[in-house]
Amino acid sequence: MNAQQIASRADCPQTDALACRLKQVIDGGPDAITERLCQLEREWTTGRASKATAGIMIVAGLALTAVFNPWWLVLTAAGGLLLLPYLFGRRSPLGYVFHALGLRTGTEIEQEKVALKALRGDFQNLPTAQQVVNQDDISRLEGEGGIVYEPQEAPITADDAVQEVIGAAKRS
């Protein structure tokens, strides 16, 4: 099931499409997460589709100019104009059209990839800010009886995990 099929389901409102996709992938386990990550690597973004369309317009305009009529250079110029907004930003008017047609931006796809990797546990072994150790503090605490051990937190539900991961992915 691809992202558009999942997002278009009746139980997946558009505002919570990412949460819905993540919940469905969680149900499939780690293999489903790996499969979904592979699908995301192949998914076209709005920027990629915009640039491909502009490139095809340029090449087609040049070919048609060479074969038929110099007026086909207008198609080449239009393709070049569609690439011009990328000099100033990450989106173009053609990108907005592709987004309306159902393609996602690179940022949206990347957020889903980070969330899936976090749910799969890829970041468990990376140090966090809370794990950074100040050796001076440790040696001072050792003289005072050592560091207090805190038990692990209770396991969280899939809904809570998804919301936490989405929040983290959107901040990154």
User: Rounded distance, CA 84 to CA 54, Å?
Assistant: 10
User: Which tens digits make up the pLDDT trace of 1-44?
Assistant: 444 444 344 455 555 888 888 888 888 888 999 999 999 999 99
Residue 121 backbone zone (phi > 0: left; psi -120 to 50: alpha; other: beta): left
Give the per-residue pLDDT at 122: 82
User: Rounded distance, CA 114 to CA 52, Å?
Assistant: 26
**Region of poorest pLDDT, from 23-27, 51-55, 98-102, 130-134:** 130-134
Confidence band of 140 (pLDDT split at 50, 70, 90): low
User: Rounded distance, CA 172 to CA 112, Å?
Assistant: 11
Nearest alpha carbon to residue 168 among 2, 22, 13, 3: 22
Give the per-residue pLDDT at 128: 52
The number of helix segments (H) and strand segments (E) in the chain equals 9, 0
User: Rounded distance, CA 56 to CA 83, Å?
Assistant: 12
Q: Is 90 helix (H, G, I), strand (E, B) or coil?
A: coil
User: Rounded distance, CA 95 to CA 114, Å?
Assistant: 23
> Are the beta carbons of 61 and 75 closer than 8 angstroms?
yes
Please state, as a whole number, how many other Cβ atoms lie within 10 Å of the Cβ of residue 144.
7
pTM: 0.68
Give the per-residue pLDDT at 156: 65
Q: Which domain holds residue 63?
A: 3-171
Average pLDDT value for residue range 120-131: 64
CA 35 to chain centre: 15
Q: Report the domain count for the chain.
A: 1
Nearest alpha carbon to residue 33 among 109, 115, 106: 115
**Region of poorest pLDDT, from 2-11, 38-47, 53-62, 119-128:** 2-11
Mean of per-residue pLDDT scores for the chain: 79
Most confident segment among 86-90, 96-100, 155-159: 96-100
